Structure 1
Amino acid sequence: MVESLRTDAPAARGGPVVVVTGASSGIGRGVAQALAARGADVVLAARTERTLTAVARECERLGGRVLVVPTDVSDEAAVQDLVSRAVGRFGHIDAWVNAAAVWSYGRFEDTPGPVFRQIVNTTLFGQVHAARAVLPQFRSQGHGVLVNVGSLYGRLSSPYVSPYVTAKWGLLGFSEVLRQELRDAPGIAVCSVLPGAVDTPIHRHAANYVGRRIRPLPPVTSPERVVAAVVRAIDRPRREIVVGRTQRVGIWAHRLVPGLYDRLSGPVVDAFVVRRAPVPAHDGTVFAPDPLPCAVDDGWRRHDHRLIGRALTVATAGLAALAVGVRAFGRRRHRR
Structure 2
Amino acid sequence: MTSSSGKAASPGRAASRDKAAFRGKAVLITGASSGVGRATALQLASEGADVVLLSRSASVLAEVQRECEAHGVRAVVTVADITDRDALEAAFSTAVRELGRLDGVVHSAAALSYGRFEDVPAEVFDKAVLTTLGGTANVARCALSAFSESGGGSLVVVGSLLGKISTPFMSSYVTPKWGVHGLVRTLQIEARTTPDTHVSLVWPGGVDTPVYLQAGTYLKRHGRPPPPVDSPEKVARAVVAALWKPRREVSVGLANPITVTGFRLFPGLFDVLVTPLMKLGGLSRGEVENSPGNVLSPTPEGEAVHGRWGRQWLRPVASVGLGVVAAGAGLAATAVRGVNRAGRP
CA contact (8 A) 1:35 1:64 kept: no
Aligned counterpart, 1:334: none
Aligned counterpart, 2:283: 274
Aligned counterpart, 1:261: 270
Cα deviation, residue 308, structure 1: 6.6
Cα deviation, residue 214, structure 1: 3.1
1:280-299 correspondence runs (5 A): 280-292=289-301, 294-299=303-308
Aligned counterpart, 1:78: 87
Aligned counterpart, 1:40: 49
Cα deviation, residue 212, structure 1: 2.6
CA contact (8 A) 1:38 1:63 kept: no
SS in 1 for 2:300: coil
**Matched pairs, number:** 298
RMSD over aligned Cα atoms:
1.8
The correspondence for 1:93, drawn from 69, 78, 102, is 102
Letter in 1 for 2:275: G
CA contact (8 A) 2:221 2:283 kept: yes
Moved over 6 A (4+): 306-309
Cα deviation, residue 63, structure 1: 2.3
Instruction: Give the 3 Å change call, closer, same or farther, for CA 308–273 of structure 1 in structure 2.
Output: closer
Question: Structure 1 residues 176-185 or 229-238, which shifts more?
Answer: 176-185
Matched, 1:28 2:37: yes
Instruction: Give the 3 Å change call, closer, same or farther, for CA 214–183 of structure 1 in structure 2.
Output: closer
Cα deviation, residue 293, structure 1: 5.5
CA distance in 1, matches of 2:227, 2:253: 12
1:190-205 correspondence runs (5 A): 190-205=199-214
Matched, 1:54 2:63: yes
Aligned counterpart, 1:234: 243
Letter in 2 for 1:76: R
Cα deviation, residue 36, structure 1: 0.4
Gaps of 5+ in 1: 1-12, 310-336
What TM-score, normalized by structure 2, do the two folds share? 0.83
Question: Structure 1 residues 270-279 or 164-173, which shifts more?
Answer: 270-279
| Deviation by residue 1:119-158 (Cα, 9 ceiling, x = unmatched) | 1111111110011112122122221111110001110010
Letter in 2 for 1:287: L
Matched, 1:249 2:258: yes
Cα deviation, residue 248, structure 1: 1.4
CA contact (8 A) 1:23 1:44 kept: yes
Letter in 2 for 1:119: A
CA distance in 1, matches of 2:284, 2:61: 32
What TM-score, normalized by structure 1, do the two folds share? 0.85
Larger Rg: 1
Instruction: Give the 3 Å change call, closer, same or farther, for CA 56–194 of structure 1 in structure 2.
Output: same
Cα deviation, residue 306, structure 1: 6.4
CA distance in 1, matches of 2:224, 2:302: 20
